[in-house]
Chains A and B, each alone.
Chain A
Amino acid sequence: MMQFPCPHCGPRAQSEFIYERTLDSVVPLNAPPEEAMTKLFTRNNPRGVDDEIWRHTYGCRAWMVLTRHRVTNEISGCRAIGPEALP
């Protein structure tokens, strides 16, 4: 199991978190159809580092952006999500 550095609660077990989707797949409210299609149905899916949205469901319940390596599981960042993080 991984340990996530929640920006509000500190290091916590992964079992408290639920994965939502990658940051690149958030559909902006005013997205034209082509962009909405791409965001909904495709992913960068790199064999390397990507930004993911997780929720500390069984903790502070806040959403956050986790930067994680998809092979090594190394976590290089975790930041709170706020209005400025939304596309």
Chain B
Amino acid sequence: MSRYSAFSLLRGALTGDRHWQPAWRDPEPKSHYDIIIIGGGGHGLATAYYLAKVHGLKNIAVLEKGWIGGGNTGRNTTIVRSNYRLEPLHNLFEFGLKLWHGLSDELNYNVMFSPRGAMFLGHSDADMVKLAERGDAMRCDGIDADLLTRDQVAKIEPLLDMSRDARFPIQGGLIQRRGGTARHDAVAWGYARGADSLGVDIIQKCEVTGFVRDGDFVLGVETSRGRIGAGRVGICVAGNSGHVAGLAGLKLPIESQTLQAMVTEGVKPMINSVIMSQSLHCYISQSDKGGIVFGGDPDNWPSYAQRGNPMVMEGAVAQGLALVPALSRLRMVRTWSGVTDMSFDGAPIIGETPLRNLFLNGGWCYGGFKATPASGYTYAHTLATGKPHALNAPFALDRFERGATIDETGSGPMPNSR
């Protein structure tokens, strides 16, 4: 793999840009791998990268039914933050946030991470108490969080409707200044290039259609490109977790739902941070191209359809316009949706399954993108050693039957009320 640098760009420019090469190979699947990862999204590719980089394993394959980064990695709103109240959650996401801050250097690939600040809005006294509690919990573990007054919020985002008769009056906020956004495709491509250069086979257009089993042992997978044997198999398929686990006869604490997002035409800088409101469930940021990216609630019923419902989109748009009235002058140019794997306590699942040699990484709900590095790092540890990393130990699949759920919002086992 040739290293990307300013020098190589300059040399390429002088020689007619003929130096570009494919960033990863397109290998034929081998008959056996030590570890197979099902799912070539950000999480799966990051897992493969850290397996090769940190654990020194070489015989690894990532199987992807479509093309890499074509699922939720390419369908989110690219927000990166670690501002969670519960300890296991903010510790995991903070580990990821630290990796984000050095990721472009680590991968020699510009993931365009932009720590512009992730800000929650508070709309009532109760909201402000909740935000203060969350900020305190974060600071106890050394994570940055600043409670903002109304005037401080207005200074960061002058276009918010701060009038007294605003539909959603703003009392203050909580900002995590190290949070921000990143370029989602670049994360998948950067990890793919890094993993490939360390010898990982990235096999696209290869759908897993079943598992090869001997009793409770998983010995490999059946795919659209033939049977492939494996020492260990890791499921990492986000919205399709229920489907793939179903091929192994497992029933998961996951319900798949559709989550939509949308973007307007590009304009000059008008949104400086990532604005989020958890009381409304609306989040707004501006991409580097100038488009205003925003999203809202999932469509709260089960769905594998990668397309959204105008009824839910209208709700998200109404919230966005109420918060930033100037958005009403913009045209929406594109909407899309992904299939989110809603878990039954709102927290992810990373760990062992009841079957030997089969592992699961899923249940990220609508918040998986920000976790990409942390998810990959801890899942790689779990796959390499067969035991969870300290950071993902609380996120075991059996926590529901043990009564050890990690329920950030306290809403119980109802994915559609999250």
Contact = CB atoms under 8 A, between A and B. Distances in A.
A49 B301 CA distance: 14
B105 to A, nearest CB: 39
B251 interface: yes
B305 A41 contact: no
B416 A45 contact: no
Given A22-B302, A52-B301, A70-B305, A42 B246 contact: no
A47 B255 contact: no
Interface stretch (A13-21, A57-65, A79-87): A13-21
Contact of B253 (A2, A41, A52, A71): A41
B214 interface: no
Nearest to A66: B301
B305 A72 contact: yes
B246 A46 contact: yes
Contact of B246 (A37, A45, A71): A45
A72 B304 CA distance: 9
B258 to A, nearest CB: 10
B305 A45 contact: no
B344 A45 contact: no
Interface in A64-79: 70-73
A21 to B, nearest CB: 7
Interface in B359-418: 400-401, 413-414, 416
Nearest to A19: B301
B312 to A, nearest CB: 9
A41 B240 contact: no
Given A14-B311, A43-B255, A46-B242, A52 B302 contact: yes
A43 B252 contact: yes
Contact of A70 (B254, B304, B401): B304
Contacts of A45: 242-243, 246, 251-252, 254-256, 302
A19 B304 CA distance: 16
A70 B256 contact: yes
Interface residues of B, number: 25
A42 B344 CA distance: 8
A30 interface: no
Given A37-B400, A37-B401, A43-B254, A71 B413 contact: no
B251 A70 contact: no
A31 interface: no
Interface in B265-311: 300-305, 309-311
A50 B304 CA distance: 12
Contacts of B400: 37, 41-42
A26 interface: no
Contact of B252 (A14, A42, A70, A73): A42
A32 to B, nearest CB: 13
Interface of B: 240, 242-243, 246, 251-256, 300-305, 309-311, 344, 400-401, 413-414, 416
29 contacts: A1-B309, A1-B311, A15-B311, A19-B300, A21-B416, A22-B255, A37-B400, A41-B253, A41-B344, A41-B401, A43-B242, A43-B255, A43-B302, A44-B242, A45-B246, A45-B256, A46-B242, A46-B243, A47-B240, A47-B243, A47-B256, A50-B302, A52-B301, A52-B302, A70-B256, A70-B305, A71-B303, A71-B305, A72-B305
Interface of A: 1-2, 14-15, 19, 21-22, 37-38, 40-47, 50, 52, 54, 70-73
Given A43-B253, A45-B243, A45-B254, 15 more contacts: A14-B311, A19-B302, A40-B344, A41-B401, A42-B252, A42-B253, A43-B302, A44-B242, A44-B246, A45-B246, A45-B252, A45-B255, A45-B256, A46-B242, A72-B305
